[in-house]
Structure 1
Amino acid sequence: MDSRRHIALKESIRSIPDYPKPGIVFRDITTLLSDPRAFRRAVDALVHPFAGGRIDQVAGIEARGFILGGAVAHQLSSGFVPIRKKGKLPHKTVSIAYALEYGTDEMEIHVDAIKPGDRVLLVDDLIATGGTACAAVNLLRRIGAEVVAACFVIDLPEIGGAQKLRDLDVPVRTLMEFDGH
């Protein structure tokens, strides 16, 4: 993506200081999603490296990953698989617990959402600590997926989540970086 477009796309992100707690700057993509040109450019940029390749499923992490992942799956002519918080899926599931800053959480996927050997692209809006994304990769692998890559609109590189995914041998694609937390 050329630098002029990159700047315009980055400018479509709203930054909210001291949310959800003091010292954190929340990077809000709803402003990007509501701008048709920015939304289209972001989806096209996420899709570009994988166009023409074989991606069987796009897995989106609840909730903004559903929006982006659905659009990416459509562009790639792939299926879409939601990775949800525990208790939200109606059929038999496989779950994984993962650490949060304070405590733990669980996410799950339908046991039959992925066929063994499916090539899966993981999508979410932002990579920070990597806890949720790494858990999603491990969950996908547990049911037989080959995780081709993980894509995010925003990376917070100082926090190190993208590197944790790379350490799991998952290539990471991000469209922009922001300093801080």
Structure 2
Amino acid sequence: MDLCHVPATREKGWYLALMAPNVKGPNYAWLDPSRLYCHPQGLQDCVADLLQPFQGDAIDMVAGIDAMGFILGAAAAATLRKGFLAIRKAGHLCVQTEAQPYSDYSGRQKLMELRTDAISPGVAAICMESSEGGKWIQERYKCSHCVPARLQPRFDQHQLGWD
């Protein structure tokens, strides 16, 4: 998709076609979203779709996990005029933290941390894949994602093939 092109009819997820598949191997995520971030309307529509289920909710802060979560979370926070909390890889924060182990997209075990002085109870999540961890989150928290239901099986199998 051309970086300047905006479809006449913008359905949820139209901007996903801006993303490119991984060509560097298994140590990288299967999909690169950086072209989506460069497309002004695509980024705006993605953030709007992610925030749609939370319309009318009292939101104090937006948090995001590493890389994609930093970019989309900060964009969502700016849209909502709220603060942004970065959830970082262990060892990157120089303040008191809470830590949580997790497995990343390559199956590697890692530890994430967030500062404890900036949060209070109450969680929602934005997910992209129907992974084991994603399903666990969706069962416990209010969630949102920008992948239309008809495309979810393709994303779960790490395939593109846009309609």
TM-score class, shorter: 0.7 to 0.9
Report how far residue 106 of structure 1 moved.
0.9
What is the aligned partner in structure 1 of residue 138 from structure 2?
A: 166
Indicate the SS of the match to 1:88. coil
1:23-50 per-residue CA deviation (whole Å, 9 max, x = no partner) reads: x981111111111111111011112222
What is the aligned partner in structure 1 of residue 4 from structure 2?
A: none
Identify if the C-alpha distance between structure 1 residues 71 and 4 changes in structure 2 by more than 3 Å, giving closer, same or farther: closer
Q: 1:26 aligns with which of 4, 24, 30?
A: 30
What is the aligned partner in structure 2 of residue 59 from structure 1?
A: 63
1:115-155 per-residue CA deviation (whole Å, 9 max, x = no partner) reads: 3xxxxxxxxxxxxxxxxxxxxxxxxxxxxx211x2113x32
Identify if the C-alpha distance between structure 1 residues 44 and 26 changes in structure 2 by more than 3 Å, giving closer, same or farther: same
Report the Cα distance in structure 2 between the residues aligned to 1:52 and 1:105, rounded to whole angstroms.
35
Indicate the SS of the match to 2:56. coil
Report how far residue 91 of structure 1 moved.
1.4
Identify if the C-alpha distance between structure 1 residues 20 and 76 changes in structure 2 by more than 3 Å, giving closer, same or farther: same
Is the contact between residue 9 and residue 42 of structure 1 (CA under 8 Å) also seen in structure 2?
yes
Using the aligned pairs only, state the percent identity: 32
Report the Cα distance in structure 2 between the residues aligned to 1:26 and 1:103, rounded to whole angstroms.
15
Report how far residue 51 of structure 1 moved.
3.0
Is the contact between residue 12 and residue 49 of structure 2 (CA under 8 Å) also seen in structure 1?
no
1:146 aligns with 2:98: no
Give the superposed CA RMSD: 2.4
TM-score by length of 2: 0.75
Report how far residue 102 of structure 1 moved.
5.0
Report how far residue 18 of structure 1 moved.
6.6
> Which consecutive unaligned segments of at least 5 residues does structure 2 have?
1-8, 159-163
Could you say which structure has the higher strand fraction?
A: 1
1:35 aligns with 2:6: no
Identify if the C-alpha distance between structure 1 residues 160 and 103 changes in structure 2 by more than 3 Å, giving closer, same or farther: closer
**What amino acid is aligned across from residue 170 of structure 1 in structure 2?**
Y
Report how far residue 82 of structure 1 moved.
0.7
1:12 aligns with 2:30: no
1:67-125 per-residue CA deviation (whole Å, 9 max, x = no partner) reads: 1101111212222111000111121212122345655211111120213xxxxxxxxxx
What is the aligned partner in structure 2 of residue 78 from structure 1?
A: 82
**What amino acid is aligned across from residue 38 of structure 2 in structure 1?**
S
> Which consecutive unaligned segments of at least 5 residues does structure 1 have?
116-144
